[in-house]
């Protein structure tokens, strides 16, 4: 089990939260919440050791396009970089939908 932390500059504050994905074989969950400061902080807990450089590359690419001040928690069980990118994009979409609806976002919650 490896724990990685990354930090990125942010340009805009966000108020909504999101939870996408599940921790399971070859998948991961992303929990996104508002940050206290104008930075984006990412905490990754992964079952696969030794891939910090891959995580950094995927997150660098994501935060080159996303400028929100958020706290991101990622719980990974062997997801590929493509799945990581997909889950991050889903979390941003969920936050934008929650912002538009005025609440928290959990796409897996019953409606």
pLDDT in tens, the chain (111 residues): 999 999 999 999 998 999 999 987 778 999 999 999 999 999 999 999 999 999 999 999 999 999 999 999 999 999 999 999 999 999 999 998 887 776 555 444 433
Q: For residues 36 and 34, give the distance between their C-alpha atoms in angstroms, rounded to a whole number.
A: 7
Hey, what are 76's tokens?
A: 């990974």
CA 93 to each of CA 1, 4, 72, 86, 100: distance values in angstroms, whole numbers, following the listed order? 29, 24, 14, 11, 11
Query: What sections of 1-111 are H helices per DSSP?
Result: 52-65, 81-101
Cβ atoms < 10 Å from Cβ of 26 = 10
Q: Where are the domains of the chain?
A: 2-101
Let me know how long the chain is: 111
- Rounded to 10 degrees, what is the CA torsion of 76, 77, 80, 84? -20
- With beta carbons less than 8 A apart as the criterion, state whether 99 and 16 touch: yes
Q: What is the pTM of this model?
A: 0.87
């Amino acid at each position: 089990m490896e724990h990685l932390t990354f930090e990125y500059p942010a340009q805009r504050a966000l108020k909504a939260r999101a939870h996408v994905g599940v921790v399971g074989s070859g998948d991961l969950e992303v929990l996104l919440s508002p940050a206290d400061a104008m930075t984006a902080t990412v905490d990754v807990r992964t079952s696969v050791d030794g891939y910090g450089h891959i995580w950094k590359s995927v997150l660098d690419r994501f935060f080159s396009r996303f400028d929100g001040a958020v706290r991101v928690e990622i719980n990974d069980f062997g997801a590929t970089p493509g799945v990581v990118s997909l889950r991050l994009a889903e979390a941003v979409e969920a936050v934008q939908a929650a912002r538009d609806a005025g609440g928290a976002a959990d796409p897996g919650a019953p409606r």
